[in-house]
Amino acid sequence: MLRYSGRRLLGAIPLLLGIVTLTFILLHLAPGDPTTAYFNPNIPPDVIEQMRRNLGLDRPLPVQYLDWLRSFFTGHFGYSFSQHRPVAAVIGDALPNTLLLSGISLVLIFVLGCAAGVVQAVRQYSAADQVLTLLALAIYSVPGFWLGLMLILLVSSPVLSGWLHLPISGMVSIDHEYLGWWGRVADRARHLVLPVIALGLASAAGVARYMRGSMLEVVGQDYIRTARAKGLPERRVILGHALRNALLPIVSLLGLYLPLLFGGTVVIEYVFSWPGMGRLLYNAILARDYPVVMAATFLFGALVVLGNLLADLLYAAVDPRVRYDGR
Amino acid sequence: MLATLVAWGCGGGETGGGTGAPRTDSAGRGGTVVVAARAEIPGVNPLVAPPDYFASQIERYVLLMPLVQLGPDLQPEPWLARSWDLRADSSQVVFHLRDDVKWQDGQPVTAGDVAFTFRKAKDPDVPFPNRAYFDRWDSVKVEGPHTVRFWLRPYSQFLFGWTQVPIVPEHVLGDVPDSALASASFNATSPVGDGPFRFVIHEQGDRWVFEANPDFPADLGGPPRVDRIVYRIIPDESTELTELERGDVDLYLKLPPDQLSTVRADTSLDVLTFPSPTYAFVAWNTRRSMFSDARVRRALTMAMNRRQILQTVQAGLGSVATGPLGPWHWAYDTAWRPIPYAPDSARALLAAAGWTDTDGDGVVDLNGRPFRFELLTNPSQTRQDIAVMLQADLARVGVDLVPRTREMASLGQAIQSSKRLFDAFLLSWTEDMVIDDRDYWACDRRDDPLQFSGYCDPTLDAIMDSIPRALDRDRKRRLLRRYAEMVEEAQPFTFLYNQDGAVALRRSLRGVSVDVRGELRTAARWWLVPRSR
């Protein structure tokens, strides 16, 4: 298993190098640079020139590329053009926020999705199944930003906002610094409610559909009939025998959802004023903040690689038929 | 899980440990004002931050102190400088600073800080974005702890730069090498202020928090009435409006016109507007033969229903432009009238310039070439709407306008590069408060990035050159008016409309006064009506 992971990770190095190189080329092919992105008629041209020199944009492209590679291997990723700080610090601010948001969403997606799927499969064609199917389909087809805006309007409606004063934007309340430790945790949690729902609900609906199908397939198998025939309680049949096998295909979804979640945060972070990676990358592209775009792209790429590896490893962990390291 | 959340929800801000946020007392002192803006500011160091409308206001009115401030008539008034002496020939000026102002770390603000700020602004290795402010200021000498002398070459409005660039602390930034100044921790992580408010915390992309400076000099208004200002970044307009309606935001900067009616309908909210130096325009590339004739450019302006455009995209917030000077400016002449909307006269003017529809295809032509051009603009919804309205307006006089949208950085590249690969473009931007438009029209700057139109008129050049040299205000007013009238006559740009700035605020927030000097100018005098519930 270790050897296999090592091989996969080694193989990822040229892939990631290719990704950042391609990003670098594409970024510089796009017209404009950070100074044209400022585009302010009140700045004299010689100051713009000075800015370009300070940012190192007057040097030949290969030199800029090698320079970036060097800063990349020394771990600080260069300096952000727009925030004037090391990129590592810029990302260090935004990444935890996104990890918090998408991590909790991921838990919600799988817990909620699996639970709904199991209920639907066990009570196939019941009213609960029909309602959940309809609901899942509806939620799945709603774009995230729209769901976000509707949630904001819903909790801000006069009826709801009176007894449920949920925050609709930002990460903390304005009195956050005055709260005790538990107060701060609670404050954070309250600010997470809406973005997590907006980010996770659609994916949870998707997982529910997969889970239902997978579960239905399993409960039709001979060994489930055997388990029932042995007189095992229905609870143990479903949760102990059927669920474990039905989860197999869902595990591989986990690896696929990881990068997808990061992509989805761009819109959700915008709507809910959440200062995370999605908004950072979006603003960096608009401002032509090359070092930040490169570093963020690298992170997203690494996440896809890791997500896929994780899915494969988990697959091996839950399915005894799958073995790596060629034995 | 939901049940727990509801429990948290019930208490609102009252639950939680700690001492709780400061609240407004019955006399209307204290409390927290939440200001919402759509974009993060690039930092609060005036020496290196790229020009930013709100960053500059936070620097000047909240965190730091400039030597002088602009009064209601846009003339300089004492601020950090108690007074100043100007030598009769205007070649030297001595500032006498206040001796009762301290940085938030306890150090006094001295003449050394002023000299330091000036030297850094003049340093070629520092990317100070407003170098033009001190172009004609030559040297500085500290003559006492609170006395500083400058040598300069006289010009009009020479103190303007000192109203825009506040003094920064030498004891904090003095040891930072020039190359590291742009990334100094002072800029956005741990600034040290001397203004009516002190820096508390900055969470990148989320909020800046400032607290009242209890030592702010009494004869400058004394300590602010509110305890804290939280400057929040909320990128989405709908979210921003909802926060204001809920009462979680007190002041909403840059209210978009399409939300105006919603805010006006809410009895707990108010809208304040003011004439601003922002205007929308179409720039014609006069290097192209179809736009080289002033009659053609004038005809195109006459064909545009600018009043309707203003009503549609700005909800009427502004005025149809009468040239490069807007109503916000002291030299604006209230007798000026915009070029009228007159499609028939426009057609006649085009015909006089040789453009007629000879082949009957609905598009006027000259020497077999139809009048067809591309109008570049950026992906803003407002600009896209204007472009489509212009397309319809010009079609009525037989001109075929093709709107093209380009993302801002690439649009900037197209119109600024020496090749000038565009016919015309549509943008809106904010003018500096000192009008010096030689970058746009001067003949000898035709190859510089900002001379978009390529227009050249030596007479206009002579007038523009004399404006900065006019020390007398009446003379300067006459020259500015002459300048504006000449540009309006030639129409190298079609000036569409002057935009009014707008803010929305809760009625419980008092003391807010907005004008061309900015929305945050009276921050130290804001106060909150105590909550009735």
CATH code of residue A147: 1.10.3720.10
Q: Which value, to the nearest 10 degrees, does the dihedral of the CA atoms of residues B170, B172, B178, B181 take?
A: -130
User: pLDDT band at B404, cuts 50/70/90?
Assistant: very high
When CB atoms are compared, the residue of A86, A168, A179 closest to B242 is A168
In chain A, residues with a C-beta closer than 8 Å to the C-beta of B32 are: 174-175
pLDDT of B16 > 60? The answer is no
The confidence score (pLDDT) of residue B2 equals 35
Question: What does the pLDDT look like over A190-204, one tens digit per residue?
Answer: 999 999 999 988 889
Got the DSSP string for B258-296? GGHHHHHH-TTEEEEEEEEEEEEEEEE-TTSGGGS-HHH
Calpha distance A259→A294 (Å, rounded): 17
User: Are A42 and B432 an interchain contact pair (Cβ–Cβ within 8 Å)?
Assistant: yes
Calpha distance A24→A18 (Å, rounded): 10
pLDDT of A327 > 60? The answer is no
User: Are A45 and B9 an interchain contact pair (Cβ–Cβ within 8 Å)?
Assistant: no
CA distance A309 to chain B (A): 32
Backbone angles phi, psi at B118, to 5 degrees: -65, -45
| B361-382 exposure pattern, b = at least 16 Cβ within 10 A, e = fewer | eeebbbeeebbebebbbbeeeb
A80 located within any domain: no
A122 located within any domain: yes
The confidence score (pLDDT) of residue A39 equals 64
Task: Please name every residue paired with B212 in a beta bridge, in sequence order, or none if there are none.
Answer: B197
pLDDT of B231 > 70? The answer is yes
When CB atoms are compared, the residue of A94, A170, A184 closest to B207 is A170
Question: What does the pLDDT look like over B244-267, one tens digit per residue?
Answer: 999 999 999 999 999 999 999 999
Mean pLDDT of chain B: 91
CB B378 within 8 A of CB B407: yes
**A228-232, B224-228, B237-241, B285-289 — which is least confidently predicted?**
A228-232
User: Are A163 and B9 an interchain contact pair (Cβ–Cβ within 8 Å)?
Assistant: yes
pLDDT of A250 > 50? The answer is yes
The confidence score (pLDDT) of residue B17 equals 36
Which of B236, B406, B408, B450 to probe the A interface (max A CBs under 10 A)? B236
Q: Which two tokens stand for residue B137?
A: 């200021």
User: Are A93 and B205 an interchain contact pair (Cβ–Cβ within 8 Å)?
Assistant: yes
Task: Give the 3-state secondary structure of B427-467.
Answer: EEEECCCCCCCHHHHCHHHCCCCCCCCCCCCHHHHHHHHHC
pLDDT of A234 > 80? The answer is yes
Question: What does the pLDDT look like over A105-154, one tens digit per residue?
Answer: 989 999 999 999 999 988 888 998 999 999 999 988 988 888 999 999 99
Structural domain for A300, as ranges: 87-318
CB B428 within 8 A of CB A47: no
CB A277 within 8 A of CB A95: yes
User: Are B42 and A82 an interchain contact pair (Cβ–Cβ within 8 Å)?
Assistant: yes
pTM of the predicted model, to two decimals? 0.86
Helix, strand or coil for residue B208?
strand
User: pLDDT band at A38, cuts 50/70/90?
Assistant: low
CB A138 within 8 A of CB A147: no
CA distance B338 to chain A (A): 24
Q: One-letter amino acid identity for A241?
A: H
Residues with Cβ within 8 Å of residue A1, at least 6 apart in sequence = A313, A316, A324, A325
Range B313-326 average pLDDT = 95
Range B86-93 average pLDDT = 89
Calpha distance B224→B211 (Å, rounded): 9
A11 located within any domain: no
Q: Where are the beta strands (DSSP E) in B314-380?
A: 318-320, 365-366, 369-370, 372-377
CB A295 within 8 A of CB A85: no
Nearest CA in chain B to A177: B21
Number of domains in chain A: 1
Task: Please name every residue paired with B142 in a beta bridge, in sequence order, or none if there are none.
Answer: B148
Residue with the bigger pLDDT between A255 and B147: it is: B147
pLDDT of B7 > 50? The answer is no
Strands B147-152 vs B92-97: parallel, antiparallel or unpaired: antiparallel
pLDDT of A228 > 60? The answer is yes
User: pLDDT band at B10, cuts 50/70/90?
Assistant: very low
Calpha distance B253→B436 (Å, rounded): 28
A232 located within any domain: yes
**CB A250: neighbour CB atoms within 10 A?**
19
**CB B180: neighbour CB atoms within 10 A?**
12
Range B440-446 average pLDDT = 93
In chain A, residues with a C-beta closer than 8 Å to the C-beta of B431 are: 41-42
Calpha distance B63→B224 (Å, rounded): 12
CA distance B187 to chain A (A): 9
Q: Which two tokens stand for residue A161?
A: 């906002």
pLDDT of B58 > 90? The answer is yes
Calpha distance B415→B411 (Å, rounded): 6
**A308-312, B168-172, B352-356 — which is least confidently predicted?**
A308-312
Question: What does the pLDDT look like over B475-494, one tens digit per residue?
Answer: 999 999 999 999 999 999 99
Q: Domains in chain B, please, with CATH?
A: 44-176 (3.90.76.10), 276-500 (3.10.105.10)
Backbone angles phi, psi at A231, to 5 degrees: 90, 15
Backbone angles phi, psi at A287, to 5 degrees: -85, 0
Count of CB pairs separated by less than 8 Å, A with B: 194
The confidence score (pLDDT) of residue A224 equals 87
Q: Which two tokens stand for residue A225?
A: 């009939």
CA distance B393 to chain A (A): 28
Nearest CA in chain A to B451: A41
CA distance A299 to chain B (A): 20
Question: What does the pLDDT look like over B104-119, one tens digit per residue?
Answer: 999 999 999 999 999 9
User: Are B205 and A182 an interchain contact pair (Cβ–Cβ within 8 Å)?
Assistant: no
Range A34-48 average pLDDT = 70
**CB B193: neighbour CB atoms within 10 A?**
23
A254 located within any domain: yes
Calpha distance A265→B343 (Å, rounded): 49
CA distance A321 to chain B (A): 37
CB B99 within 8 A of CB B145: yes
The confidence score (pLDDT) of residue A307 equals 82
Helix, strand or coil for residue A67?
helix
Residue with the bigger pLDDT between B170 and B183: it is: B170
Calpha distance A155→A79 (Å, rounded): 40
User: Are B235 and A270 an interchain contact pair (Cβ–Cβ within 8 Å)?
Assistant: yes
When CB atoms are compared, the residue of A43, A193, A271 closest to B51 is A43
B502: burial class by Cβ within 10 Å (0-12, 13-18, 19+)?
Answer: buried
CA distance A190 to chain B (A): 7
When CB atoms are compared, the residue of A45, A50, A288 closest to B449 is A45
Calpha distance B80→A140 (Å, rounded): 60
In chain B, residues with a C-beta closer than 8 Å to the C-beta of A90 are: 204
User: pLDDT band at A253, cuts 50/70/90?
Assistant: confident
When CB atoms are compared, the residue of A31, A79, A186 closest to B410 is A31
Nearest to B437 by CA among B301, B295, B279: B279
Which of B237, B248, B419 to probe the A interface (max A CBs under 10 A)? B248
User: Are A32 and B413 an interchain contact pair (Cβ–Cβ within 8 Å)?
Assistant: yes
Helix, strand or coil for residue B203?
strand
User: Are A174 and B9 an interchain contact pair (Cβ–Cβ within 8 Å)?
Assistant: no
The confidence score (pLDDT) of residue B12 equals 35
CA distance A97 to chain B (A): 11
The confidence score (pLDDT) of residue B26 equals 66
pLDDT of B530 > 90? The answer is no
Nearest to B374 by CA among B354, B351, B394: B394
User: Are A179 and B128 an interchain contact pair (Cβ–Cβ within 8 Å)?
Assistant: no
ipTM of the complex: 0.82
Range B267-271 average pLDDT = 95
A6 located within any domain: no
The confidence score (pLDDT) of residue A177 equals 81
When CB atoms are compared, the residue of B10, B19, B242 closest to A152 is B242
